[in-house]
Each structure stands twice: as structure tokens, then as C-alpha cells.
Amino acid sequence: GNSVTQMEGPVTLSEEAFLTINCTYTATGYPSLFWYVQYPGEGLQLLLKATKADDKGSNKGFEATYRKETTSFHLEKGSVQVSDSAVYFCALRNQGGKLIFGQGTELSVKP
Amino acid sequence: NAGVTQTPKFRILKIGQSMTLQCAQDMNHNYMYWYRQDPGMGLKLIYYSVGAGITDKGEVPNGYNVSRSTTEDFPLRLELAAPSQTSVYFCASKQYEEKLFFGSGTQLSVL
């Protein structure tokens, strides 16, 4: 079946540190891949997406590349800010159109 | 433009009570979803709808019911609340392949 696995949190970083949050997936066919972000007390918001192999999604300094050979979609940012503190969810959309989410990774950025 | 509106934001129920979680969107989206978010477990799809009058079960539908009499509204009904239904509930909507818009969530405790 389809599934998404993310690295365990919480991840605690100092401001301006480099961020990587790992995400791997299992899917039949060619899913679209997404990163959603959930700020405290709010619903999820789409951060970035990639719809085919080797595509790179980017937004607000975050990037993720769709790697079919390693079935991965790792999220990266070169220099995190305190305002990036949130929970990050990796997700895939299968051929039936449903979104399947990973368990979420909490990021805490300290000044 | 309000987006997706959920009410209430918080609720405490006793075992066996019933309640309805309200969800409304003003974007004329055809697709609407109910998810539950348990700590460390990501989001699980409860029910979804592809248009007015059409609903279908997701991964975890037991103990819940939905209806979709209009495009705007997609209420979620709990008939006999159980402690296992303690969770944060999110409603979401989208139009075809576009991104998913989430409400801010309802935190439900069943004691």
C-alpha cells in the first residue's frame, strides 16, 4: 500500500542552522509529493510540492527534490529562523487522488 | 474570504454523548475532507466528499457519520462519543488537483 515515513522529532536547532527533515515513501505508480506546515494553533498549509521525478519544489527558502530512485522527498533549508518553528508533514497523493500523510516532524528553532 | 471555517474550536464530551463538528468553506470547492490528528500519528482520513450529495469512507470511519447537502457545508457527526475519539479534527477542501485548504481544527476530549 501507500505510506509515508518521516524522521522522528522533535528537531531542535539554533537560528541560522541548516535543516534537513527526511521523508521516504512507498507507493504504486507515480505519486505527487508534498510538504505541509502546521504553525501552532493553526491548520496545515501547503509549503511546496513536486509532481514528477527530479522535480524540485521550493517556497520560503525551503526545498525538496523528488527522488524516485531512493523514494525520498527530503525537506531542506539553508538557514532556519525562529519563525520556522512548526510541525512539518510530508504527504503523497496517490493515483486515486487521496492524500496520505506522514506522522509529522516538530521543528523548534532557538534564538 | 474566510476559507475553511470549523466550529467549535474546543469541546469536552462525556462518554456516550453526541455532537456535530461543523465545517464550511466559501471557495466553491467540490472536494471536502475530515481528518483526525493524533499525537505522533499524522493525519488519518475519516470521510470525504467529492460533491454535494456524495460521501465516502476514509481510513478510520467507524464511530462517525457525515452528510453533504450543500457544496459549502460538510458536518461530521459523533453519535456515541468514546475516549478513543479524543483527537484534533481538521476539515479541508480543494478543487480538483489544486492544493488542500485546512481549517484551524477542533480539539475534542471525551472523558
Rounded to an integer, the average pLDDT of A87-108 is 89
Which residue of B lies nearest to A87 if distances are taken between CA atoms? B42
CB neighbour class for A14 (10 Å; exposed up to 12, middle 13-18, buried from 19):
exposed
pLDDT tens-place string over residues B14-40: 999 999 999 999 999 999 999 999 877
Please judge whether A102 and B40 are an interchain contact, meaning their C-beta atoms are less than 8 angstroms apart.
no
Listed in sequence order, the residues at least 6 apart from A57 whose beta carbon sits closer than 8 Å to its beta carbon are A33, A34, A35, A48, A49, A50, A63, A64, A65, A66
Instruction: Specify the pLDDT at position A83.
Output: 96
Contact A6, A104 (CB under 8 A): yes
Whether a cis peptide bond, with omega within 30° of 0, leads into B8 is yes
Is the peptide bond prior to B83 cis by the omega test (within 30 degrees of 0)? no
For residues B106 and B109, give the distance between their C-alpha atoms in angstroms, rounded to a whole number: 10
C-alpha A100/C-alpha A32 separation (Å) is: 11
Minimal Cβ distance to A102: which of B42, B58, B104:
B42
Query: What number is the average pLDDT over the span A91-106?
Result: 87
Q: Give contacts of B4 with chain A, Cβ < 8 Å.
A: 43
**Identity of residue B20:** T
- Which residues in chain B have their CB less than 8 angstroms from residue A103's CB? 40-42
- The answer to whether residue A9 scores a pLDDT higher than 90 is no
Tens of pLDDT, residue by residue over A12-49, are: 999 999 999 999 999 988 899 999 999 988 889 999 99
Q: Cβ of A43 and B58 within 8 Å?
A: no
Q: Do A98 and B103 touch (CB under 8 A)?
A: no
Residue B57 has pLDDT above 90, yes or no: yes
Separation in Å, CA B76 to CA B33, B79, B80, B87, B102: 10, 10, 13, 14, 15
The beta-carbon neighbor of A42 closest among B33, B43, B104 is B104
User: Number of A:B CB contacts under 8 A?
Assistant: 38
Compute the average pLDDT of residues A78-104.
Answer: 91
| Closest to A27 (Cα-Cα) out of A90, A104, A105, A106 | A90
Residue of A nearest to B32 (CA): A98
**pLDDT of B1:** 62
CA of A96, closest CA in chain B: separation in Å? 12
Contacts of A104 in chain B (CB under 8 A): 40, 42
Flag whether pLDDT at A50 surpasses 70: yes
Are B71 and B55 contacting, i.e. CB atoms less than 8 angstroms apart? Answer: no
Residue-averaged pLDDT of chain B = 93
Which residues of chain A approach chain B closer than 8 Å at the C-beta? 4, 36, 41-46, 49, 89, 98-99, 101-104
Question: Could you tell me the pLDDT band of residue A94, with boundaries at 50, 70 and 90?
Answer: confident
Across the range A98-109, mean pLDDT stands at 92
Task: Give the angle subtended at the CA of A110 by the CAs of A35 and A102, to the nearest 5°.
Answer: 25
Residues 6+ apart with CB under 8 A from B109: B11, B12, B13, B86
Q: What is the pLDDT of residue A98?
A: 80
Residue A74 has pLDDT above 90, yes or no: yes
> pLDDT tens, B90-110?
999 998 767 889 999 999 999
* Rounded Cα gap, residues B37 and B51, in angstroms: 24
The model's confidence at residue B50, banded by pLDDT at 50, 70 and 90, is: very high
